[in-house]
Amino acid sequence: MDDNVSSSSGSLGDLPPREMRSSLHRIVDWASDYRETIERRPIGPAVQPGEIAAHCPADAPDEPESLDAILADIDSVVMPGIVHWGHPAFLGYFGSTSNGPALLGEIVAAALNVSAMTWRTSPAATELEGVVLEWIRRMIGLSDAFMGVVYDTASVAVFHALAAARERCAPMIRERGIAGRTDVPVCRVYASDQAHSSIEKAMIALGLGETNVVRIPSDSVFRLDVAALRAAIEADVQSGFRPMAVIATVGTTSTTSVDPVAEIWPVCREHNAWLHVDAAYGGALGILPEGRWALDGVDRADSVVVNPHKWMFVPLDFSALYTRHPAALRAVFSLTPDYLRGDAAVGQVDYMDYGLPLGRRFRALKAWMVFRAFGRAGIAGRIREHCRLAQLWASWADADPMFERAAPVPMAVVCFRCVRHGIDDDECDRLNAAIVRAVNASGEAYLTHTTLRGRTVMRVGIGNVLTTSEHLERAWECVRREAQRHIPNAMDPSAGSVRDIG
């Protein structure tokens, strides 16, 4: 087609208003049907790698295609390759589920498509971002010494926190970089052996090196061992390294263990190291009065990340970084391109000054809608129920001789292991991995496995707004059935054995 002539509709593919309205109605119906029928779908897809792409042409179409054809392909090409994260028996990772208010918020945000780089480019997106950041901060009980910024993910948030810490540790890196400098020490970061791999990624991106993340052993319940931290830092200082930051985790990825932040902080203060708290998952527990213990000492931190897209029912993506030192973030990232000069509005925040991205989605809108529609009580009630459900699952694992629990359950994640007398640990690892694969292949439930102290364990994470105890009962039956299929004589309870994998 000649690029200069219009398509038959005269819109070069965009939808004229009337067609747009009816198409939007169709999609709204489609999304509502999806939510209504999600439970009847097999959770994991039965596709082979490459199968979805094989249904798509190598080049984008030359000519505008009809919306009917495109929507038909959502059902025939896209849907067969979907893992239904929103299914109530999806128990993998940390659940991130959509919900009615969030979906509506995403539609409005997409219609507006504003960019919250400066206050002037979007006053409403900027101010609503500040509002929801304050709501989250107050809900979880963080002091007003912290200022927040929204990023897409906790991985990006820790990158920003460590960029600020790097500037404090070795000044002028913003201007002069690191290469060829003899006045820049080797900066090190400390985190437990349970902390998330995003720390290494941040250190790679900051040019500080993956090997300068020092992994500190965790104790018997997977919390950072403070004496080991102190010893590692002291040894490093003796060897000429500079302790740049310590990362404490509130809700580790595998077991949701909580590092003793209040005890870690004095070590940081002694060595002038930045304390970043990764509360990406566990920060949400602070909404519950009975969950505040998890944030003990967090107010002392230099920065804290909380991911409402993990356990506060805001769908991907929405990650909130709080820092006591917003000026330090600005000092690293504030850089105004010519075409935005003069845009600054007196007394207003321009969020582009606090991070790498210039264009910024109106993420605050969906959070604002979820928080208003659920209310604090609705969020807290769900979190409390998820914790109850996790205890229920843990009680089943404890009571069944085929299984043993692999870690305490402080939040809504349970790690457990199928055990069998007479097989060695490696065989037992393969058995547990095989059970997870079989459960996921069944389509009835979806879980993941993780490694604790070198051994493979099964892991369920409960975080979906739709999950009830009935869903968990069926998922548990599925796990038991697959375990029985994979181990001979599994019904003989005397054959079960308890192993120490903690």
Ligand X SMILES: Cc1ncc(COP(=O)(O)O)c(C=O)c1O
CA distance 202 to 318: 18
Taking residues 38 to 77 in sequence order and writing x for each that binds ligand X by CB under 6 A, - otherwise, the string is ----------------------------------------
Q: Beta-carbon neighbour count of residue 3 at 10 Å? A: 6
Give the one residue of 281, 322, 333, 351 binding ligand X; rule: CB under 6 A.
281
Give the one residue of 166, 196, 382, 405 binding ligand X; rule: CB under 6 A.
196
Instruction: Answer yes or no whether residue 155 interacts with ligand X by CB under 6 A.
Output: yes
Q: Which is nearer to ligand X, 154 or 184 (CB)?
A: 154
Q: Scanning the structure block, which residue is given the tokens 């897209």?
A: 309
Is residue 458 within 8 A of residue 436, CB to CB? The reply is yes
Give the one residue of 154, 191, 206, 383 binding ligand X; rule: CB under 6 A.
154
- In total, the chain counts a number of residues equal to 502
Residue type, 95: G
Least Å distance between CB 100 and ligand X? 23
CA-CA-CA-CA torsion sign (220, 223, 226, 230): positive
The three-state secondary structure class of 452 is: strand
Least Å distance between CB 160 and ligand X? 12
Tokens of 199: 């720390």
Is residue 355 within 8 A of residue 328, CB to CB? The reply is no
CA atoms within 13 A on the CB side of 302: 28
Is residue 45 within 8 A of residue 81, CB to CB? The reply is yes
Q: Which is nearer to ligand X, 173 or 191 (CB)?
A: 191
Instruction: Answer yes or no whether residue 194 interacts with ligand X by CB under 6 A.
Output: no
CA distance 219 to 215: 13
Q: Which is nearer to ligand X, 280 or 411 (CB)?
A: 280
Q: Which is nearer to ligand X, 157 or 232 (CB)?
A: 157
**Among 217, 321, 212, 229, which residue's Cα sits nearest to residue 270?**
229
Residue 424: φ, ψ to 5° = -85, 175
Give the one residue of 38, 109, 170, 280 binding ligand X; rule: CB under 6 A.
280
Angle at 457 between CA 248 and CA 317, to 5 degrees: 50
Size of interface with ligand X, in residues (CB under 6 A): 15
Give the one residue of 97, 99, 212, 319 binding ligand X; rule: CB under 6 A.
319
Give the one residue of 198, 218, 440, 456 binding ligand X; rule: CB under 6 A.
198
By CB under 6 A, the residues from 220 to 259 that bind ligand X are 249, 251-253
Least Å distance between CB 194 and ligand X? 9
Q: Which stretch binds ligand X (CB under 6 A): 277-285, 399-407, 436-444, 469-477?
A: 277-285
Taking residues 70 to 109 in sequence order and writing x for each that binds ligand X by CB under 6 A, - otherwise, the string is ------------------------x---------------
Q: What is the dihedral of CA 335, 336, 342, 343, to 10 degrees?
A: -100
Q: Which stretch binds ligand X (CB under 6 A): 29-37, 111-119, 274-282, 361-369?
A: 274-282
Instruction: Answer yes or no whether residue 444 interacts with ligand X by CB under 6 A.
Output: no
CA distance 461 to 94: 6
Q: Which stretch binds ligand X (CB under 6 A): 153-161, 367-375, 438-446, 477-485?
A: 153-161
- Which segments within 78-163 are labelled E, that is strand? 147-151
Give the one residue of 23, 115, 153, 442 binding ligand X; rule: CB under 6 A.
153
CA distance 322 to 48: 41
Residues that bind ligand X (CB under 6 A): 94, 153-155, 196, 198, 249, 251-253, 278, 280-281, 307, 319
